Amino acid sequence: MYYPDGSKYIYSRQSEIDDIINIGWLSHEFAFNKGEVNTDIKNKILEIIYLKKCNVMRGIYKCDFCKSEISVPHHSGKILLGHAEIWIPSISSNLIYASPTLIYHYIDKHHYLPPANYMESLMSFDLNSK
């Protein structure tokens, strides 16, 4: 499923939601920013997926690049990606960033570079929040 970074969230909805923004919904058909992301950010994403995933779906979305289901090691065991989302509140606005759990894999294996504000917001996200 592809949505451009910064577009309004609509996945599994009938209409767009103005204050929720898509980040990391990639496809092999569209170019994306590439670069290196530090380990702290990748580890934080995994913890958010483990503790705070939302919009869990029935079924698994495979990586559009690898064409396979993706699971990653975690201290709790393996974490399956591609069946849920993470939502991160922006630290600079009233927006929420919605990302597929596959964002971890896209960063780690396909060198996806999310927008800087997303990464800053992610690192500020309180894992103890409700």
- Give the model confidence (pLDDT) of 11-44 as tens digits: 766 677 889 999 999 999 999 999 999 999 999 9
Q: Domain for residue 91, yes or no? A: yes
What pLDDT, on a 0 to 100 scale, did the predictor assign at position 25?
Answer: 97
Of all residues in the chain, what percent carry a pLDDT higher than 70? 97
Residue 3 domain-assigned (yes or no): no
Domain-located, residue 130:
no
Whole-number pLDDT of residue 16: 73
Q: Is 62 a domain residue?
A: yes
Q: What span, in angstroms and rounded, lies between the C-alpha atoms of 27 and 29?
A: 5
Question: Residue 67's domain spans which residues?
Answer: 8-124
Which 3 state secondary structure label does DSSP give 14?
coil
Contacts with 108 (C-beta within 8 Å, 6 or more apart), sequence order = 42, 72
Q: How far is CA 58 from the centre of its chain?
A: 18
Model confidence band, residue 130 (pLDDT cutoffs 50, 70, 90): low
Per the structure, how many domains does the chain have?
1
Q: Tell me whether residue 1 is in a domain.
A: no
Task: Find tokens 């569209």 and name the residue.
Answer: 30
Residue 12, domain member (yes or no): yes
> What's the pLDDT score for residue 11?
73
Residue 96 lies in a domain: yes
Average pLDDT of the residues in 47-70: 94
Q: Name all contacts of 115-120 with Cβ < 8 Å and 24+ positions apart.
A: 115/5, 115/6, 115/23, 115/33, 117/90, 117/91, 117/92, 118/23, 118/88, 119/37, 119/41, 120/91, 120/92
DSSP 29: T
Residue 61 binned pLDDT confidence (cut-offs 50, 70, 90): very high
